[in-house]
Amino acid sequence: MHCGYDLPTVTDLANPSRRTLPVLDLGVMPGPPSGLPAFEALDERVAEYRPDALLAAYAIAGVVIATTALFVQQMLIALRATGALAGAWFGGLTAAAVTIIATGGSASDRVALGFVTGEAVALALIVLAVVRTARST
């Protein structure tokens, strides 16, 4: 069964001679998947690029921590303590670099763990800077 989409693989995108654009068959209206047979071909093509569960968990945790840090850093900006904010993010970057260098495993796992570690350290340093700055004002 044809789903109406001709999606290129990552290999196709990397090879200029095989590069194609997605084509939408206007006779098929996209909608919610009912029995999913229309998506089986796409699932098979994408399956090799799916991250494992640990890598996905690291990514999700890192994004949640980073989003929290972005909200908390607004307090430092309001307190006009942007120097402390820069120091906190630099501390997070340093922690991420040390984690990537010091841990073993695949490159993807090391980078993902470094991302989580860096974001967590940055968030902790931002919170400490907020507390310290708020007490001194």
pLDDT of 84 strictly over 90: yes
User: Dihedral sign, CA of 55, 57, 60, 66?
Assistant: negative
Least confident range of 1-10, 55-64, 120-129 = 1-10
Q: What's the mean per-residue pLDDT of the chain?
A: 80
pLDDT tens across 38-57, in order?
555 566 666 667 788 899 99
d(CA 44, CA 112): 25
Note the pTM of the prediction, 2 decimals. Answer: 0.66
Mean pLDDT to the nearest integer, 82-100: 96
pLDDT for 52 equals: 87
pLDDT tens digit string along 3-25? 555 666 666 655 555 545 554 44
Contact 30, 22 (CB under 8 A): no
pLDDT for res 63: 96
Q: Is the pLDDT of residue 58 over 50?
A: yes
- Of 123, 111, 117, 116, nearest to 58 (Cα)? 116
Of 26 and 116, the structure prediction assigns the larger pLDDT to 116
